[in-house]
Structures are given as structure tokens and as C-alpha cells.
Amino acid sequence: MSDSFTSLEQSGETAATPIRRRSLHDELTDRLRHLIVEGDLAPGAKVPEKQLCERFGVSRTPLREALKVLASEGLVQLRPNRGAVVSQITLEDLEETFPVMGALEALSGELACACISDREIAAIREAHEAMVAHYEQGELAPYFRRNQEIHERILQAAGNPTLTSLHRGLTGRVRRARYMANMSAARWARAVAEHEEILAALEARDGPRLSRILKDHLANKFETVRAALLGSD
């Protein structure tokens, strides 16, 4: 059994528990995406189809359908008669992806401010406060999960299915790059401060301001990732 699958077995409930909810296709795709984004299936590793089928209690057909979705997102490469491999992360790919994602994030913020409800803002504030608590405890993985929840809630509040579809086609690559880049203490503190600014602009329903903040926030994320790929301090 490969080292990547050994890691998969040890990675907790998301990777190991049987699939019982949502549609099989959506849940399976999300489980596989999670394993790739968080590095349980490493770049360049062959996707262990047999072990994954046994782990999730599914046949090869739904697994391969899920892999097609992940291939469309650039997370895996499908090789005829040789199975799938996890895509490598390259600076060139991220230099193309991050500016597009930044534009989508900016648009989501502007649209959200035009129609977001008080209840939706309250849910985002709750997620933000939980994220800050994880930051103060130095808990990076749950911090990232809450961080992602905030961005997804803003996207949902924008109420634009086309934007949502385009955003989700790129988000896996951006999240994967983020997980591989170790943030310095200074950058982590700055990221939290940026999220304070995001929340303030959202509560003020200031669309142009939130748009600028979200775009700059993603650009700053890219600089962290770029430094990691280049081996910079």
C-alpha cells in the first residue's frame, strides 16, 4: 500500500467514514477533493482506486465519475488505461489561476453586499469569531476550514449560480496551494486583520470596498504561496 494511502487512512473522519448523506456523486467528489487539497493524496501520486472504493464502499463507476470532475478542476490527470494521478502544483498554473479567482472573489463581495440578509451576516460573523479563536489557539487546520466557510458564505449570498460554478471550478487549486504554503506568524496575523476588514465592509454593505479587500486578500495569499514555491523566506 502506498505512503499516500497510509496517510489517507490516518486522516480522520472525512477520509475514512462511510458515505451516508447527500448525493453519492457530490459527497464522493467532495471527499476526494478534500484528500487532494489537504495533501493526503500528494502531488504526482497515483490515485489508489481500489483502496478508495473499499474505503468508501462504492464501485469504480462513481469513483471514476468523481475523478472526471476533479480533472476538470485541474486537481487530477486522467491517463488512458493507467488510472489517475494527482496533478503537480506549478507556479505557472497558479499565476494564471489566482488573478482569475481574485476577480471572482471581488465580484462575489460586491454582489453579496447588494442583497445579503442580516441573518447571513450574523452567520458569517459567527464563523469569523470561531476562526479568530482557532487563530489565537494556533490551530491551523480548523482555522482554514472556518476561513473557507466565510468565503463560501459570501459567495452563496451573492446569489449568482454562474459565478458560483466558475468559482468552484478554481477553488480546489487555490485551497490546495494555500495548504502547501506555511504562513509566517506575521502573514497569519495579517490574514486575520484582512478578515476583520472583510467583515466590517460586509456589515456596512459597502460593495466596492469589499470587492477591493477580497481581491487584495487573495493577491496576498498568492505572494505567500509564491514564496513557498520559490523557497523564499
Pair 201, 107 in one domain: yes
Decide which of 86, 104, 124 is a domain's last residue. 86
For residue range 79-119, list pLDDT tens digits in order. Answer: 888 889 999 888 898 999 999 999 999 999 999 999 999 99
Give the pLDDT of residue 11. Answer: 46
User: Within 13 Å, how many C-alpha atoms sit on residue 233's CB side?
Assistant: 0
Averaged pLDDT for residues 177-193 = 84
CATH no. for residue 206? 1.20.120.530
* Strand ranges, E, within the chain: 76-79, 83-86
Mean pLDDT, rounded, of the chain: 87
Taking alpha carbons only, the member of 85, 87, 96, 29 closest to residue 56 is: 29
Pair 101, 13 in one domain: no
The neighbour count for residue 62, using CB atoms within 10 Å, is: 18
Give the pLDDT of residue 233. Answer: 45
What percentage of the chain reaches a pLDDT higher than 90?
A: 61
Tell me, what DSSP letter sits at residue 171?
H
Pair 26, 81 in one domain: yes
Give the pLDDT of residue 157. Answer: 97
For residue range 135-154, list pLDDT tens digits in order. Answer: 999 998 899 989 999 999 99
pLDDT of 1 > 80? The answer is: no
Averaged pLDDT for residues 58-68 = 93
Pull the grid cell for residue 182: 506555511
Give CA angle at 196 (193, 201), nearest 5°.
130
Pair 81, 153 in one domain: no
Decide which of 86, 116, 138 is a domain's last residue. 86
Give the pLDDT of residue 13. Answer: 45
Give the pLDDT of residue 122. Answer: 97
Pair 180, 118 in one domain: yes
Range of the domain at 117: 91-230
Pull the grid cell for residue 25: 456523486
* 158 — pLDDT class (breaks 50, 70, 90): very high
**Residues 90, 228: contact at Cβ < 8 Å?**
no
For the chain, what is the domain count? Answer: 2
Pair 80, 98 in one domain: no
Give the pLDDT of residue 2. Answer: 47
Q: Which helix (H) or strand (E) holds 146?
A: helix 140-158
Kindly report the backbone phi and psi dihedral angles of residue 211, in degrees, each rounded to the nearest multiple of 5, phi listed first: -60, -45
Give the pLDDT of residue 19. Answer: 46
Pull the grid cell for residue 95: 499565476
Decide which of 36, 70, 86 is a domain's last residue. 86
CATH no. for residue 39? 1.10.10.10
* Alpha carbon distance 17, 99 (integer Å): 36
pLDDT of 193 > 80? The answer is: yes
Tell me, what DSSP letter sits at residue 89?
P
Pair 168, 63 in one domain: no
Report the SS3 class of residue 86. Answer: strand
Pull the grid cell for residue 167: 468559482
pLDDT of 37 > 80? The answer is: yes
Pair 66, 101 in one domain: no
Total-model pTM: 0.79
